[in-house]
Amino acid sequence: EAGVTQFPSHSVIEKGQTVTLRCDPISGHDNLYWYRRVMGKEIKFLLHFVKESKQDESGMPNNRFLAERTGGTYSTLKVQPAELEDSGVYFCASSQSTRDEQYFGPGTRLTVT
Amino acid sequence: QQQVKQSPQSLIVQKGGIPIINCAYENTAFDYFPWYQQFPGKGPALLIAIRPDVSEKKEGRFTISFNKSAKQFSLHIMDSQPGDSATYFCAATDYSQGGSEKLVFGKGTKLTVNP
């Protein structure tokens, strides 16, 4: 069974540009989570989808971040325009139901210069 | 404010040693405490988890000790091996909240086990 996949693995962009991160959850997992780890800090929750609906987006830092989950399958996280403080590793996780183990992807390392 | 505090930030032990990683939490509503292990280039993977109705849980060489009154929990790795070298994260969540079981993580501990 394929795990959670994320693309790209690494992205380097300039301040003010736009970047879109993609996450493909494990097939059949209704729950999809986005987290972010800024260097030296803890992994922080961004938002949670149940199928295509946003269950909880309390962790989204500001309106420069837009997350979507098309048809309850893959999800994208767009940062527009990117700022220096957006640099970090963005993790996606999925679970079959809300109290099941969350399986994490390898992350996307975003560097904003 | 940081809801889950983890220490130490880094830890070096010799093979066979027993590294101990400690975490403390503030939110008394937390009712599920997992530990994640992360190797370079990989995402965090669930290692072991505990609920507050037990004081200790063992899975192989990994043990969680839980002190509800002190709001603290710790991970012990018995007979540590070089292959255990990784970053370890403690986490907590409130399952009773319903809806989003978002994980609240500590800052992580980089463990190095020397041969």
Task: Identify the structural domains of chain B with CATH numbers, from first to last.
Answer: 4-114 (2.60.40.10)
Contact status of B73 with chain A (Cβ, < 8 Å): no
Q: What is the 3-state secondary structure (H, E, C) of A39-77?
A: CCCCEEEEEEEECCEEEECCCCCCCCEEEEEHHHCCEEE
User: Cβ of A93 and B43 within 8 Å?
Assistant: yes
Residues A103 and B98: their CA atoms lie apart, in Å, by 19
The pLDDT of residue A4: 97
Helix (H) or strand (E) run with residue A109 in it: strand A108-112
User: Cβ of A102 and B103 within 8 Å?
Assistant: yes
pLDDT digits (tens, 9 = 90+) for B65-95: 999 999 999 999 999 999 999 999 999 998 7
Task: Identify the structural domains of chain A with CATH numbers, from first to last.
Answer: 5-112 (2.60.40.10)
User: Cβ of A42 and B46 within 8 Å?
Assistant: no
Helix (H) or strand (E) run with residue A11 in it: strand A10-13
The pLDDT of residue B25: 96
pLDDT level of residue B100 (50, 70, 90 thresholds): low
Residues B89 and B94: their CA atoms lie apart, in Å, by 17
* Weakest mean pLDDT among A48-57, B22-31, B69-78, B96-105: B96-105
Residue B99 has pLDDT above 60, yes or no: no
User: Cβ of A106 and B101 within 8 Å?
Assistant: no
Residue to test with chain A: of B35, B101, B109, most A Cβ within 10 A: B101
Work out how many CB contacts closer than 8 A connect A with B. Answer: 60
pLDDT digits (tens, 9 = 90+) for A58-108: 999 999 999 999 888 999 999 999 999 999 999 999 999 877 889 999 999
> Which residue from A43, A58, A99 is facing B105, i.e. has the nearest CB?
A43
The pLDDT of residue B97: 63
Question: Smallest CA–CA separation between A55 and chain B, in Å?
Answer: 6
Residue B102: closest C-alpha in chain A: A45
Helix (H, G, I), strand (E, B) or coil at B25: strand
Helix (H) or strand (E) run with residue A20 in it: strand A19-24
The pLDDT of residue B59: 95
Give me the half-sphere count of Cα atoms (radius 13 Å) on the Cβ side of residue B61: 12
The pLDDT of residue B72: 97
The pLDDT of residue B101: 81
Contact status of B4 with chain A (Cβ, < 8 Å): yes
pLDDT level of residue A31 (50, 70, 90 thresholds): very high
Contact status of B88 with chain A (Cβ, < 8 Å): no
Closest by Cα among B93, B58, B59, B52 to B73: B52
* Weakest mean pLDDT among A93-102, B47-56, B80-89, B105-114: A93-102
User: Cβ of B106 and A42 within 8 Å?
Assistant: yes
Across B1-115, the runs of DSSP E, i.e. the strands, are: 4-7, 10-14, 20-25, 33-38, 45-50, 56-59, 62-67, 72-77, 86-92, 104-105, 109-114
Q: What is the identity of the amino acid at A106? A: P
User: Cβ of A93 and B2 within 8 Å?
Assistant: no
Residue B2 has pLDDT above 60, yes or no: yes
pLDDT level of residue B42 (50, 70, 90 thresholds): very high
With tokens 């199928």, the residue in question is A51
Which residues of chain B make contact with A93, given a CB cutoff of 8 A?
43
The pLDDT of residue B82: 97
Residues B89 and B7: their CA atoms lie apart, in Å, by 10
Residues A37 and A23: their CA atoms lie apart, in Å, by 16
Q: Decide if B114 contacts B82 (C-beta within 8 A).
A: yes
Q: Please give the full DSSP string across A78-104, using - where no structure is assigned.
A: EESS--GGG-EEEEEEEESSTTSPPEE
Give me the half-sphere count of Cα atoms (radius 13 Å) on the Cβ side of residue A37: 23
